[in-house]
Structure formats: structure tokens, C-alpha cells
Copies of this chain bind each other. A is one copy, B any other.
Amino acid sequence: MDQQVKENGNCSGRVVEGPTNPMVTPLLTDLYQFTMAYAYWKANKHHERAVFDLYFRKNPFGGEYTVFAGLEECIRLIANFKFTEDEISFIRESLPGSCEDGFFNYLRGLDCSEVEVYSIAEGSVVFPKVPLLRIEGPIAVAQLLETPLVNLVNYASLVATNAARHRFVAGKSKMLLEFGLRRAQGPDGGISASKYCYLGGFDATSNVAAGRLFGIPLRGTHSHAFVSSYMSPDEITDKSLRSADGSSSCEDLVSLAQTWLSKIQWSSSLRGIFGETNQSELAAFTSYALAFPISFLALVDTYDVMRSGIPNFCAVALALNDLGYKAVGIRLDSGDLAYLSCEARKFFRAIEKEFGVPGFGKMSITASNDLNEETLDALNKQGHEVDAYGIGTYLVTCYAQAALGCVFKLVEINNQPRIKLSEDVSKVSIPCKKRSYRLYGREGYPLVDIMTGENEPSPKVGERILCRHPFNESKRAYVVPQQVEELLKCYWPGSSDKPREDLPPLKDIRDRCIKQLERMRPDHMRRLNPTPYKVSVSAKLYDFIHFLWLNEAPVGELQ
């Protein structure tokens, strides 16, 4: 990063680092942002002050809430927004040869020092139509930001919401592991997924790069290939293991495990459940235990869960127990997870009882294999003994709905409000530079979000205010808020002297997200037929929207 960029990243005396992904540059935008910038420049209109709202129109996954994420990466881009000479050359090549030099000089000096960014805090629960970010600045610059900002917020919010929904179904007590890297949409589809699933309430990831970049706890043990790669216990050359307290040593963990295996096989309570187990699997488990005696967790479904995997695992776990080590548990990656987890639990409890090993019955059971909201829900309904879920494909690709439709709409230019009309009412934009507030009720739940004009007085605690649906005149309600929270805060003051909000660490954003989700009224959160949360405008803004709408829309003529 060159000095110029560093200085640029500095605002209010604090340096903002560049985007996590070095591919996020001012060129990561649509060509039309440059053609428009040129046209604005050519018309000497590029400096005109515009206000854009970034928002979405519909909550994803059939739900009634969304988790907002991606803000930090947006601010990192904005703070370091500067074209290199190479980039300017490329833009020049990409535009018609008739474009004038002055424009490229303009690009050379362009940064976000004239741009102000207001945003809802990252990790907040958010709703359709309410601006997530409000970008104010010279229209040409604000337009250049459209594509990357929408890109950075869209997937981040979508996958964070997906994670929150999985957490909701799994319940608070379960461990949720994100295992999606291999199926994610590209390398940083994977890295972003790990970051934002953690933000949305997951506990850990398998993705080492994400663990390093964001400090997310890492989890993982071994795969089927590890098990298949062993042929027999004879392969293991160094079979010795020191006891956990270092006081003694076992010369042959393989034999010890084999001894335990036959004890299990002939124990009164487990007799007949299995016959000969797969010996290459036993070899793999023993080898893994020799490498990780303090954290032994085995994948038990390579051959047959109940007839091979579980008995082999228990034999190795009991051998470790003899040496003072406590095995962690098993992972199931196929089959009927509800049934198998219950059978495994019974087996573990029988071992605890039969051999007097306290805690063995509580051995952790992790389930994976194409899990999603529906399968978690089905597991809950069937009854299961799973302690942790490893979730990949459906989580990170947001298989149930692969995109959130964030948009970036011009709401004001030169202090003139603008509206975007559409025959589809849900696509009409809400004009004006606005403020927005969340109003809380007596029981502490958020009741309604309300947008007002920039200069309207803010709603006050204990004072009745009329909240109107922005487009449906019959939908309106009086609210007496018990708490009023202004939603948009300044995260990038540009050249103004407004105080700038800090970018909190990921862990704090995650905590905020979890707290906000817990504070919602339960009927907004349920999976089936959730109640829509109300989003409204003030009476004054309502009137203005409809005045502007009538003003702009052409009058039809029936023929």
C-alpha cells in the first residue's frame, strides 16, 4: 500500500486498513459507473451533491428479518478509494477514444474525502426499505461506489441472515460449525461466508484462512479419505503413547484398543450389536489418537456406523481413557442422523455403565452431511442426540435463496428530492434525505421502524407519533415509544466535522447481532408464517412521497 493510500485511509486521525480482499479496488465496479462519471464530468455536473440510499426490498428465506453485515468492508474501500495510474490507463482504454484528458485528471485526484457515509450498525437486525447505508457526496463518486458497496453488503447480509436462521432452528445450546469452503462461490465466497456466518451466530469454521484473517475459532479432525488410506493396524510403526500426566507410557496403543474392542464385543449389554469391525478403520482411529490424544474426535461412517465406526471409536477412546485422556467424540456424515445419534448415545451410555467410565455417555456427537434449516428442523421433530452441527453447502451458498436484492437509489440531488417510479409499487423508492428510528414498546420489543425527513423533529419517548405505511394509505398506527433509537450513524464523515463511529471488532458485531435477534418479538422470528415487522414513514414524509409521485408520473390515457 503506498503512502498516498495510507493518508487517504486516515480520517479523524484513525487509519482504516484497506479491504480484506485486495481484489476490492475502485475498478471493482460496473463500466456504466465510469461512462456516467464521464457524462457528469462533461456536463460539469460531477460535483453536484447527491444522496443515495442502499436498502433491500424483501427479507430473504421467506422470513421477516435480515441481519445487516458488510459495513466494515465498505468503509475500508471508501477510506482507501484511490485510482492508480495503471487503473486510470485501463479506464481510458475502456472508454471511447473521444473522451477528454481532463476527465482522467479528475479521476487522478478523486477520493472519498467529500463523501459522507451514514449506516446502521453492522450486526443489526434490519428490515426492507429502511436504508442500511446513506451515501452523500459528489454524484460521480457516489455512483462509482454503487456497485462495490452493493456487492459488499448483499452477500454478507444474506449469509449472516442464513447463519442466524440456522442458529434459530438449532437452538442456543448447540455448537454450530461452518464447513462450507469447498462448496462456496469462489475463494472469497468461502472466506466471506466464514466471516459472516460467525457474525450471524456460528461458533467456528473449518476455513483456516478465515480463522487467521478474522480470529474465528477453527475446528476440524479428519475425513473419510484418512480412514480409507489405512490398510491395517500393522502399518502403524510407533504405537507408543505417554499417559496424560506423563507418569507412564503405553507401548502399544493398537493392542490396547484391540483388547478394549473385544471387551466391548463380549460385554453383557453390547453383545450382538456388532461382529468383526473394519480393522483399517481401527488403524486409522488409533493413528489419529496417537497424533491427537487430547482431542480425539473420529468420523465413524466410512464403513458402517453401528457395526464398525462406533465400536472402533469406543475401543480407542477407552484405550485413551486408560492413559488419562478424554476423547472428544464422533462425527456422523451420512445416513439417518437422528436415529444414528440416538443409537450412538445409547452405546456410549452402555459403555459408561458397563466399564464405569464417568462422562463417557456424554461423548460429543457432531452431525454433518448436507444440513440446512429444514433438516435441522426435521431432526428436532424426530428427536436426536446431536451436540454439534457441521454445515456447509446450503449455508454458504444460501441455496434456499442465493441473492439478496440490495439496491442503491438516488433520493436527493442538489437538495432536490428524487423518486424512482415503477409500475410495481414495491419498487418505488422513498425519496428525500431521511433519518430513521426504531421505536420500542412497553415490553422492550422493537415495534416499528419509522423514516422521517432529515429536518423533522425526532420521535420522543412517551410522545404519540403517527406511523404510516409508505405506500398503503389505510395502513397507519399511533405509537407511544418507550425507547427511541436513531438507526443511521456517521461512519465516514468526509470533510464534515461530524464524529465518526468506530468499526468494532468482529466479536462485538457478533455479540450485537445475537443480542438484537434475542430482543425481537418471537412471532417475527418463527419459521412458519412469521409476522411482518412494521416499517413506516412519518405523516409528513408520507404526504411528500405522494405529492412527488403524482408530480412525476405521466397521466395515462385509456383508448
> Counting chain B CB atoms within 10 Å of each CB, which of A150, A220, A238, A420 scores highest?
A220
Q: Are A39 and B208 in contact (CB under 8 A)?
A: no
> Counting chain B CB atoms within 10 Å of each CB, which of A193, A225, A414, A422 scores highest?
A225
Chain B residues closer than 8 Å to A42, beta-carbon distance: 238, 287, 290-291
Known: A155-B189, A185-B184. A212 touches B554 (CB 8 A): no
Which bucket holds chain A's interface residue count? Answer: 35 or more
Chain A positions 163-203 with a Cβ under 8 Å from a chain B Cβ: 179, 181-193
Known: A30-B181, A403-B393. A294 touches B98 (CB 8 A): yes
Chain B residues closer than 8 Å to A31, beta-carbon distance: 206-208, 211, 218-220
A27 at the interface (CB under 8 A from B): yes
Q: Are B22 and A22 in contact (CB under 8 A)?
A: yes
Q: What's the Cα separation between A24 and B34 when bound, in Å?
A: 29
Stretch touching chain B among A227-235, A352-360, A464-472, A528-536: A227-235
A85 at the interface (CB under 8 A from B): no
A8 to chain B minimum Cβ distance, whole angstroms, is: 19
A65 at the interface (CB under 8 A from B): no
Q: What's the Cα separation between A102 and B79 when bound, in Å?
A: 43
Stretch touching chain B among A394-402, A437-445, A447-455: A394-402
Q: Are B38 and A554 in contact (CB under 8 A)?
A: no
A484 at the interface (CB under 8 A from B): no
Q: Are A182 and B154 in contact (CB under 8 A)?
A: yes
A413 at the interface (CB under 8 A from B): yes
Q: What's the Cα separation between A79 and B403 when bound, in Å?
A: 34
Q: Are B410 and A36 in contact (CB under 8 A)?
A: no
> Counting chain B CB atoms within 10 Å of each CB, which of A43, A191, A276, A409 scores highest?
A43
Chain B residues closer than 8 Å to A308, beta-carbon distance: 554
Q: Are A191 and B28 in contact (CB under 8 A)?
A: yes
Q: What's the Cα separation between A335 and B423 when bound, in Å?
A: 8
A262 at the interface (CB under 8 A from B): no
Q: Are A209 and B402 in contact (CB under 8 A)?
A: no
A147 at the interface (CB under 8 A from B): yes
Q: What's the Cα separation between A223 and B303 when bound, in Å?
A: 57
Q: What's the Cα separation between A251 and B237 when bound, in Å?
A: 91
Known: A413-B229, A554-B307. A402 touches B399 (CB 8 A): yes
Known: A182-B151, A186-B188. A32 touches B403 (CB 8 A): no
Among candidates B96, B152, B190, residue contacting A28 with C-beta atoms closer than 8 Å? B190
Chain B residues closer than 8 Å to A480, beta-carbon distance: none
A146 at the interface (CB under 8 A from B): yes
Known: A218-B94, A229-B45, A235-B43. A23 touches B554 (CB 8 A): no
A432 to chain B minimum Cβ distance, whole angstroms, is: 13
Chain B residues closer than 8 Å to A211, beta-carbon distance: 31, 90, 94
Chain B residues closer than 8 Å to A321, beta-carbon distance: none
Q: Are A187 and B184 in contact (CB under 8 A)?
A: no
A380 at the interface (CB under 8 A from B): no
A431 to chain B minimum Cβ distance, whole angstroms, is: 10
A182 to chain B minimum Cβ distance, whole angstroms, is: 4
A52 at the interface (CB under 8 A from B): yes
Q: Are B393 and A228 in contact (CB under 8 A)?
A: no
Chain B residues closer than 8 Å to A62, beta-carbon distance: none
Q: Are B228 and A410 in contact (CB under 8 A)?
A: yes
Contact string against B for A residues 39-51, beta-carbon threshold 8 Å, 1 for contact and 0 otherwise = 1101111001010
| A211 closest partner in B (C-beta) | B94
Q: Are A25 and B278 in contact (CB under 8 A)?
A: no
Q: Are B23 and A209 in contact (CB under 8 A)?
A: yes
Q: What's the Cα separation between A155 and B455 when bound, in Å?
A: 48
A259 at the interface (CB under 8 A from B): no
Q: Are B225 and A94 in contact (CB under 8 A)?
A: no
Known: A187-B23, A403-B393. A237 touches B152 (CB 8 A): no
Chain A positions 219-250 with a Cβ under 8 Å from a chain B Cβ: 219-226, 228-229, 231, 235-238
> Counting chain B CB atoms within 10 Å of each CB, which of A87, A98, A151, A191 scores highest?
A151
A545 at the interface (CB under 8 A from B): no
Task: Name 26 A/B residue pairs within 8 A (Cβ), A-sorted.
Answer: A21-B186, A28-B187, A30-B179, A30-B182, A31-B206, A31-B220, A36-B226, A38-B292, A39-B288, A39-B291, A40-B229, A44-B238, A87-B212, A90-B211, A146-B223, A150-B182, A159-B185, A183-B406, A184-B185, A185-B403, A228-B420, A275-B554, A276-B554, A302-B420, A303-B554, A308-B554
5 smallest CB-CB distances across A and B, nearest first, come from: A32-B220, A31-B220, A397-B402, A39-B291, A185-B185
